Amino acid sequence: MSPHAGVLLCTEVVPRIRSAVPAAAKPVGAEDASELIQDTIAHAAGLLHRAEAAGKKVAASSVAYFAVKLTRAGRRSTHLHHRCHVPRNAIVRTVTAHLIR
């Protein structure tokens, strides 16, 4: 994930996800809202990664919308297909680098 995509994820996509997920997705079993938010952020990172790899530009609102839609449909980040996998350490590095600034 490029630095620009990481900044987009942290500054524009994550706040939209945090406001939308508690109302949009129902927890199943032992899940709670914070876990659903984490899963949705992982979905958003995967969407950004795939769009970047394809050379496409995407709007933060579209990424947040489709990530929330995946979570609402019951998709969880632990069941992502191998094509959608973004290494967890790449997400952590990107978010940490942005927060340190």
pLDDT digits (tens, 9 = 90+) for 31-90: 788 888 998 999 999 999 999 999 999 999 999 999 999 888 877 666 545 454 555 555
Contact present, 71 and 41 (Cβ < 8 Å): no
Q: Residue 12 pLDDT more than 50?
A: yes
Contact present, 49 and 88 (Cβ < 8 Å): no
Q: Give the rounded distance of the alpha carbon of 16 from its chain centre.
A: 10
Contact present, 57 and 51 (Cβ < 8 Å): yes
The rounded distance, in Å, linking the Cα atoms of 27 and 45 is: 21
Number of continuous H segments (helices) and E segments (strands) in the chain: 5, 0
What is the predicted pLDDT for the residue at 13?
95
Q: pTM of this prediction?
A: 0.73
Contact present, 80 and 36 (Cβ < 8 Å): no
